[in-house]
Every structure is written in structure tokens, then in C-alpha cells.
Amino acid sequence: MPLELYRAWGDNARTIARAARALPYVQGARAAGRFARIEVQQRRTPGVARVLRDLERLPGGTVRFAEQAEPDMESTLLALAQGLAG
């Protein structure tokens, strides 16, 4: 899968998503309930450890926990629609 998927949990998912979009390697980020969903193209990733560290240090987002998530149907369909798969 050409997209890495991350979740950042905190007090304000919208603020977290907005701050995550400022990271140069983030393709997309949005609030999804109590967490922000962050997508990173594999060809632009600085690595899982760096992404998690950067997410945990986002300004104003009060990230309490960040994790890498398994690709789901949404990220798979997004990759296909954008011509990233395969």
C-alpha cells in the first residue's frame, strides 16, 4: 500500500489535523471522531518513528497518543483514485 496511515488522539482532533497538514510529508489529515487521521505517501515518509515523534510534538494539538494504523478501505480507495496503487 503506497499510503501510511496514522492516528493522533487528543483533546481536539480538528486542531491536530490542521497542525498535521503543515508537516511537509503529510498528504492529508482530518478529524475522525476523537482522533485525527493522517495519511503519508510512502515515497515521502521520513519513517514511522519520525512521523510518530512529529505528531506527538504538534503545536497546539495536545496529542496524547499517536499510532500507525493498518491501511483500511478508505486509504486503499484513496490510493486507487489518486493512481498511487500498484
Per-residue pLDDT at 66:
98
Pull the grid cell for residue 33. 471522531
Between CA 33 and CA 82 the distance in angstroms is: 25
CATH of domain 3-71: 3.30.70.100
pLDDT bin (cut points 50, 70, 90) of residue 80 is: confident
Q: How many CB atoms lie within 10 A of CB 47?
A: 10
Spell out the domain ranges in the chain.
3-71
* Nearby residues of 83 by Cβ (< 8 Å), 6 or more positions away: none
The 10s digit of each residue's pLDDT in 2-33 is 889 999 999 999 999 999 999 999 999 999 99
Say what the pTM is.
0.84
Strand pairing category for 35-41 and 26-32? antiparallel
Q: What is the pLDDT of residue 61?
A: 63
Does the structure show a pLDDT above 80 at 78? no
Q: For residues 54 and 40, is the Cβ–Cβ distance under 8 A?
A: no
Amino acid 22: pLDDT: 96
